[in-house]
Structure 1
């Protein structure tokens, strides 16, 4: 899709999203911006993808609110990834207010995609917004995105506290969800060992097995999670608690 060159005459845009209080200042809307906005909301995924890529190639702060809104509603995975990439191409000062606002959305996809984008931006000013509620969100996709964002954004010295919160999710969900949690925990390093050992000594066999598998991955990152979790389940079934059990 060919877009007009920047710098063309500004035109009124009655569909421009409202900037919330405390958000980024209003940016003049040009005909380039208006055309890009139409592309981002087109019925065709291929058009939306091209529009997102074009915005990323030529960042336009007037489109930040539209990009964020599309992240929460976009059904196509490739387009969502392009939207996230386009947002990372803008200044964090322009993107953070809107993304942080999405973390309070009632829509799970909006929360999940905002967390995903924050993890890609990597600005630690977003850390306070990654709350315990998000880390324990009942929606698995939101929780997984929160785990990934948390280990990227956590300030130095706060890793042990994060490990404690993440450990409350051990045993949760199917294998894909459990693998995501194990990866997040192991990214924190040796600080996770006390919470893992406590979980391994607990009563819930699913939690014990997940904690054992996570500890194995910490010790041997090349070990496959599938093998590690099955081995941990076997040990739990036999009444053990790991290598020392």
Structure 2
């Protein structure tokens, strides 16, 4: 009997040790302040994430603990959001998501490029003064994030849907808006991020980086679907651009998954980038 108890004890101890190793391997890391150019730490998450138009109820996030996802993209502000009325999103929702172990990617869908490709976004163009408009919307992004309990050193991601980056006038207007938005967000102690198609907005941003332009976003979230998830080998980006810990790859879109009896239509993402710091 004593020998049997010892064996059981060894097994329990081994399982506990394995659980600790797995937990440590899956845990996000914190970047050094110098990495992202601000005077405080940024929370970096590495792993699978999903984004969906409407922030799901916390009961769904709890059920989705059975999935491989550990971060969720939230469309928290911006005049061009497809789902402007967020039924569940609030400061309490964000702290609840945090307490359930989820990381959050805040997404701001503001004014769109004058040469945006999506018909649903053509009604929200950047106007004749892209610098001032970008700055004002950057301030809006910070204000709305702060009101939800998203703290400084959080990443806020500007969603700029695919546009014709080969149209020089339109591309210049769009880039001026992006840089001004980024400068405003950075000025308030947040990390400006940028989401777009790998074959338009992200490619355009890389050209600007190579040209030595300043006030560019700190992290890039590139959409390239129907390919294997990989943050390091995006063809539109130099291998050293936005590295390390500054990239997200959206590799699939509009897919339906169910966990714990809760169904969502989502986009799939692989993340190695900063996320929100929740109050």
Query: More helix per residue: 1 or 2?
Result: 1
**Which has the higher Rg, Structure 1 or Structure 2?**
1
What's the TM-score, normalizing by structure 2? 0.27
What's the TM-score, normalizing by structure 1? 0.30
Query: More strand per residue: 1 or 2?
Result: 2
